[in-house]
């Protein structure tokens, strides 16, 4: 996601005054001796032609940076500000608000999809097909729909190989596709080769090995696990594993999706709370009972993790002169990270927090601008 940003500076009114005084002195010298300008007589600037200034009762051609009452007194490419002519924005020597344009790039988050493929996933959901078939189709859709905005990966459990012939009943699953850009085709292919198996539901053991998974240790991105299961964990308690992931640096949040009516609601609620993704209400995890509700759950989760961080391709010389606008409305910098944005020099990133972040994730942003030096949107 690329967004335009502009660079420039705000001229100092004191400097304008200095230029104006110099121009007045130059004009006065020209009027008192040497080459004089025999312009029409005047008593006010408004009586003079464009680019002229009433000096000592005569309309005299103005100079760059000269005095003025309004912009008609200024030479080409200058405007009147605080009694002095200054370069117009976007012109050579001007404020530069329309000058150098650079890009801001949204930073895709990392999302590892962890899919339960225990034997119960072979159960049918009405006339729609098996839970396994519906889950594969929903995964393929979300990784396609959000391929540019999210870095996806895939992990299946139990079992270590596609056919699920290798592995133990209380052993972890394995990562089939590493988290990264443009992994949709690889994930679709991996799902096509995979099958279910009767090795239980070792959710805890599978999540435990993710503490050492390099694909979710990117300090420059948000990192998430998207867990889909249709039953209760058959081995250790998975909640401590989810807590451990969240406590890592960088933290890994865990989204939980229950599929079908065989889930342990208490366990899934506890996992959602421990993973930092609890929904409001009594049901804190995402529950799906058919194909469409599963697709909707995946879409909601993917939308909620869309990046609120943007890396600028130009380092602002002074971050205090960086201005941010959403739909032409200024968003204030918020060092408390509650409602606004903040800038991180080490990564050259702007990150939004609170309502502005939620607005970005909702897809309602028509225009996002990062402007350096000029406190007004382009």
Tell me the DSSP string of 257-311: EEESTTS-HHHHHHHHHHTT-PPSSS--SEEE-SHHHHHHHHHHHHHHTS--EEE
In a domain, 219, yes or no: yes
Same domain, residue pair 183 and 204: yes
Q: Please report, to the nearest 10 degrees, the dihedral formed by the alpha carbons of residues 108, 376, 337, 343 taken in order.
A: 60
In a domain, 378, yes or no: no
Look at the block and give the residue holding tokens 């933290």: 251
Q: 250 preceded by cis ω (within 30°)?
A: yes
Contact 245, 225 (CB under 8 A): yes
Alpha-carbon dihedral sign for residues 290, 291, 297, 301: positive
Q: Is there a single domain that holds both residue 246 and residue 296? A: yes
pLDDT recorded at residue 38: 52
Higher pLDDT pick, 91 / 276: 276
Pairing of strands 174-180, 151-157: antiparallel
**Which of 254, 276, 304 represents a domain boundary (last residue)?**
304
* CATH number, domain with residue 141: 3.40.50.410
320 in the same domain as 225 = no
Distance between start and end Cα atoms, the chain? 19
Question: pTM, whole model, 2 decimals?
Answer: 0.71
**More confident site: 226 or 90:** 226
Residue 318 pLDDT > 90: no
Give 7's pLDDT tier (boundaries 50, 70, 90): very low
pLDDT at 363: 75
**Any domain includes 37:** yes
Ranges assigned E (strand) in 44-184: 52-55, 58-61, 78-81, 84-87, 101-106, 110-116, 151-157, 174-180
Query: If you average pLDDT over residues 89-93, what whole number do you get?
Result: 52
Q: Count the domains in the chain.
A: 3
* 141 & 279 share domain: yes
Mean pLDDT, range 346-350, rounded to an integer: 91
Pair 37, 145 in one domain: no
Greater pLDDT, 265 or 101: 265
Q: Copy the structure tokens of residue 106.
A: 């949204």
For the segment 149-172, what is each residue's pLDDT rounded down to a tens digit?
999 999 999 999 998 989 888 999
Q: Count other Cβ atoms within 10 Å, centred on residue 39.
A: 18
Question: Quick one: pLDDT band at residue 91, thresholds 50, 70, 90?
Answer: low
Is residue 96 a part of any domain in this protein? no
CB 76 within 8 A of CB 276: no
Tokens at 67, concatenated: 């005095």
Is residue 368 pLDDT above 90, yes or no?
Answer: no
Pair (258, 134) in one structural domain: yes
Residue 257 placed within a domain: yes
Mean pLDDT to the nearest integer, 208-232: 95
Question: Considering the chain, what percentage of its residues have pLDDT values greater than 90?
Answer: 60
Judgement on whether residues 163 and 177 belong to the same structural domain of the protein: yes
From 87, 120, 138, give the residue that closes a domain.
87
Average pLDDT over residues 82-94: 67
Are residues 37 and 67 located together in one domain of the fold?
A: yes
* The predicted structure's pLDDT at residue 378: 65
92 domain-assigned: no
Domain final position from 284, 304, 324: 304
Residues 316 and 298 in one domain: no
pLDDT at residue 98 tops 90: no
Q: Has residue 216 got a pLDDT over 90?
A: yes
Residue 100 has pLDDT above 60, yes or no: no
Q: What angle do CA 292, 294, 296 make, to 5 degrees?
A: 70
pLDDT over threshold 60, residue 2: no
Give the C-alpha separation, 173 to 155, whole Å. Answer: 7
Residue 85: pLDDT band with limits 50, 70, 90: confident
Chain centroid to Cα 27, Å, comes to 53
Q: What's phi and psi for 192, nearest 5 deg?
A: -65, -30
For the chain, the average pLDDT equals 86
Q: Residues 156, 161, 167, 171: what is their CA dihedral angle, to the nearest 10 degrees?
A: -30
Query: Same domain for 247 and 335?
Result: no
Residue of 135, 140, 142 whose CA lies nearest to 300: 142
Domain that holds residue 24: 2-87
Cβ(156)–Cβ(194) under 8 Å? yes
Asked whether residue 94 is domain-assigned, the answer is no
What mean pLDDT comes out for the span 30-47?
63
Alpha helices (runs of H) in the chain, residue ranges in sequence order: 13-32, 131-145, 184-193, 203-208, 239-246, 265-274, 291-304, 355-362
322 within some domain: yes
Number of continuous H segments (helices) and E segments (strands) in the chain? 8, 18
Confidence of residue 65 (pLDDT cuts 50, 70, 90): confident
184 with 293, same domain?
A: yes
Asked if residue 259 and residue 165 are part of one domain, the reply reads yes
Give pLDDT, residue 369: 85
Helices marked H in 33-177: 131-145
Residue 321 pLDDT level (bands cut at 50, 70, 90)? confident
What is the SS3 assignment for 171?
coil
């Amino acid at each position: 996601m690329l967004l335009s940003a502009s660079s420039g500076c705000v001229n100092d009114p004191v400097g304008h005054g200095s230029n104006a005084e110099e121009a007045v002195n130059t004009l006065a010298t020209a009027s008192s001796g040497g080459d004089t300008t025999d312009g029409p007589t005047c008593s006010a600037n408004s009586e003079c032609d464009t680019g002229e200034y009433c000096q000592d009762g005569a309309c005299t051609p103005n100079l760059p940076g000269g005095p003025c009452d309004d912009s008609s007194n200024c030479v080409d490419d200058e405007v009147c500000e605080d009694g002095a002519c200054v370069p117009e924005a976007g012109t050579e020597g001007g404020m530069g608000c329309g000058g150098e344009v650079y890009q801001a790039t949204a930073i895709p988050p990392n999302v590892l999809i962890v899919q339960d493929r225990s034997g119960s996933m072979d159960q049918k959901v009405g006339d729609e097909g098996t839970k396994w078939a519906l889950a594969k189709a929903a995964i393929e859709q979300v990784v396609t729909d959000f391929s540019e905005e999210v870095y996806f990966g895939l992990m299946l459990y139990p079992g270590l190989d596609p056919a699920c012939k290798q592995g133990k009943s209380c052993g972890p699953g394995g990562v089939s596709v590493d988290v990264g850009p443009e992994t949709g085709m690889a994930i679709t292919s991996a799902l096509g080769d995979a099958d279910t198996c009767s090795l239980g539901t070792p959710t805890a053991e599978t999540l435990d090995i993710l503490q050492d998974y390099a694909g979710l240790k990117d300090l420059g991105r948000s990192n998430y696990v998207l867990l889909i299961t249709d039953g209760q964990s058959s081995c250790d308690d998975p909640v401590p594993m989810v807590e451990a992931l969240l406590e890592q640096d960088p933290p890994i949040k865990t989204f939980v999706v229950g599929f079908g009516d065989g889930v342990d609601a208490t366990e899934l609620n506890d996992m959602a709370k421990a993973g930092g993704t609890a929904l409001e209400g009594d049901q804190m995890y995402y529950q799906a009972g058919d194909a469409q509700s599963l697709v909707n759950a995946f879409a909601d989760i993917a939308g909620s993790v869309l990046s609120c961080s943007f890396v600028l391709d130009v380092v602002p010389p002074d971050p205090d002169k960086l201005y941010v606008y959403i739909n032409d409305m200024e968003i204030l910098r918020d060092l408390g990270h509650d409602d606004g944005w903040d800038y991180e020099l080490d990564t050259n990133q702007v990150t939004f927090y609170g309502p502005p972040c939620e607005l970005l994730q909702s897809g309602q942003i028509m225009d996002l601008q990062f402007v350096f030096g000029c406190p007004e949107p382009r």
